[in-house]
Structure 1
Amino acid sequence: MDLTGKEIAMLVLRLLFGLLYSVYCMVETLVLTLIPRSYRRKDIKGNVILVTGGGSGIGRLMCIKLAARGAIVVTWDVSEEGNLETVRQVVAAGGQCRAYTVDLCNRHAIYAAATKLKQEVGKVDILVNNAGIVTGKKLLDSPDESIIRTFEVNALSHFWTTKAFLRDMMALNKGHIVTIASMAGKLPCNGLVDYCSSKFAAVGFDESLRLEFKAEGKNGIKTTVVCPMYIGTGMFKGVQSKIFPVLKPEYVAEEVVDAILMNTPVLLIPGHMRIVHLIRAGFPEKASHYLGEIMGVTSMMDKFEGRKKD
């Protein structure tokens, strides 16, 4: 398509404005980091917040912390026992919590549970897609069923849960969808082909969804993607990290809750992982691989055990 001189001039002006706007956004981000968090947190009192995978780990910790801020928390988990323990701890701390046993591999079960939740509790204001699983095996050692289940829980379930509650958010132009992904969705790792792939999908889900909301003018619906390094919940038991820290669950849960309260679009934990991500993106593939070997990316899964089932 041939452009006229006027159209070319307009395109150049828009590009220049885009560059200036980019500088403004960077300055704005810098200024916001200097403002105490207490002044930036939104009020979630009375909000209905659904946390998938809330029956254990950081899911349970988030339920406790969100309920402490006055939210009505709902936990979905495949473990009825874990769910009930989360409810017990939240109620013991003075919060409100409901539990539903849901198999996130079954989209029909998700839709049915969503209908029941809306009837018994109300519309969901904040959806936290937190549930996740890991096989921890090399590709040829991973059973097909395990690969499918990894994608069903870590990626596909996000589509079904979001579709189940998004229509209400769209109607009000208000809501928040949180995706608990992983740094494995930014940086690949040996022995985690299925897990990394599913988390890359989760990151892409968040980024595409955020763009779709903006394109449709639904700026009142916020999204947050969380990419932490390994968390010491037992899920990655046996992982050996030379440089990357194994994070404490309490710290991660606190950071995630703060990101929700401040409408943070992207949260990398720890924060300096942003630099690692930028370095990898700018380095040639051979150099990235060499640096990865030095940092232990190719060997950290060698003694992986994972969380053992009773």
Structure 2
Amino acid sequence: MASNLKSAKDLVVFLGKSVIAFLESMVFTIIPKPRKNVAGEIVLITGAGSGLGRLLALRFARLGSVLVLWDINKEGNEDTCRMAREAGATRVYAYTCDCSQREDIYRVAEQVKKEVGDISILINNAGIVTGKNFLDCPDELMEKALDVNFKAHLWTCKSFLPAMIANNHGHLVCISSSAGLVGISKLADYCASKFAALGFAESIFAETVVQKLNGIKTTIVCPFFINTGMFEGCSTVRPFLLPVLEPEYVVDKIVDAILQEKVYLYVPRFISFVMFLKSILPVKVSLLVADYMGALNIMDGFVGKNKKE
């Protein structure tokens, strides 16, 4: 009898929490969440020397954050550092770091902790793409894609998550991709790395929930292809559904999602509908839909080689 009462109580509590969470979600769909203040927060951005990383740095500079910029390209990273200061940042630190190398990440992370302090917002943004058919892709390039696009997330989180847990304060941001949701021709290694990054971010989010670390937030970003030069030459046959995105627009969405502490961000929103179709349609039908939208062959015009974000 006691066990039955406990089971009934657990069910009632579960249903009550579910209803509250659903209603909260509906309310914040209509009324945007209040945005948190990130002035003074120490924000680390990987791949800050160009593209999204640079634009994110400039946005957080204007918000008064302390910036820690990582990139393998020292010159590009220092340019971002200078631009961030011009945008209003008073404390900016640039570090040359090869995010494909675990020991380099650990080394630079220790240097950051000594020279700057504990990271409170970690944005794993660095990424590369090869853009070849799987059998044409050299082993070393596939390994590097996995190292930069996925494994770097493991090592940066191992470096900075302990302090977040100790303080019950922090924000983990995973820049994944729509290619982390759906397989795409000529992106086997890239899709694998982005799927892995998304799965890892979701798992760490689940751990913080189970451990009741309510002060540690997670944001997982899945944008469609962005006009940063990384996917130069790519185009979409249905731009009214899935346009190649302008980086400034995507950065606005990412920063807004971080400030509102959203867990998931799909850009454009149509990707949410694509995922819904993928989950309910037969495989052959979903492939026909993807082919109609041009998602399967978007890499046909790709002209880059080992491009980086």
Bin the TM-score by the shorter chain: over 0.9
Deviates more, 1:46-55 or 1:287-296: 287-296
Match of 1:281 among 274, 279, 282: 279
Q: Alpha carbons of 1:307 and 1:56: their partners in 2 closer, same or farther (altered >3 Å)? A: farther
Are 2:132 and 1:134 equivalent residues in the alignment? no
Local SS of the residue matching 1:145 = helix
Moved over 6 A (4+): none
Q: Alpha carbons of 1:103 and 1:278: their partners in 2 closer, same or farther (altered >3 Å)? A: same
Contact 1:178/1:223 (<8 A) preserved = yes
CA distance in 1, matches of 2:306, 2:107: 30
Amino acid at match of 1:46: G
Match of 1:171 in 2: 166
1:89-128 superposed matches below 5 A: 89-95=83-89, 96-128=91-123
Deviates more, 1:19-28 or 1:74-83: 19-28
The alpha carbon displacement at 1:18 in A equals 3.2
Amino acid at match of 2:83: Q
Match of 1:34 in 2: 30
**For each residue in 1:48-67, what CA deviation from the matched residue of structure 2 results, as whole angstroms up to 9, or x when unmatched?**
10000011001000000001
CA distance in 2, matches of 1:296, 1:16: 46
Structure 2 residues without counterparts, runs of 5 or longer: none
Contact 2:129/2:305 (<8 A) preserved = no
Match of 1:79 among 73, 95, 100: 73
CA distance in 2, matches of 1:307, 1:229: 20
Corresponding pairs, count = 303
CA distance in 1, matches of 2:167, 2:106: 21
Match of 1:56 in 2: 50
Amino acid at match of 1:55: G
Structure 1 residues without counterparts, runs of 5 or longer: none
Q: Given the two structures, how large is their TM-score scaled by the length of structure 2? A: 0.93
CA distance in 2, matches of 1:146, 1:82: 22
Local SS of the residue matching 1:234 = coil
Query: Percent identity between the aligned chains?
Result: 44
Local SS of the residue matching 1:301 = helix
**For each residue in 1:244-281, what CA deviation from the matched residue of structure 2 results, as whole angstroms up to 9, or x when unmatched?**
11111001111111111111111111122111111111
CA distance in 1, matches of 2:2, 2:283: 42
Contact 2:64/2:88 (<8 A) preserved = no
Match of 1:210 in 2: 205
Aligned-residue CA RMSD (Å):
1.7
CA distance in 1, matches of 2:182, 2:16: 31
Local SS of the residue matching 1:241 = coil
Q: Alpha carbons of 1:291 and 1:12: their partners in 2 closer, same or farther (altered >3 Å)? A: farther
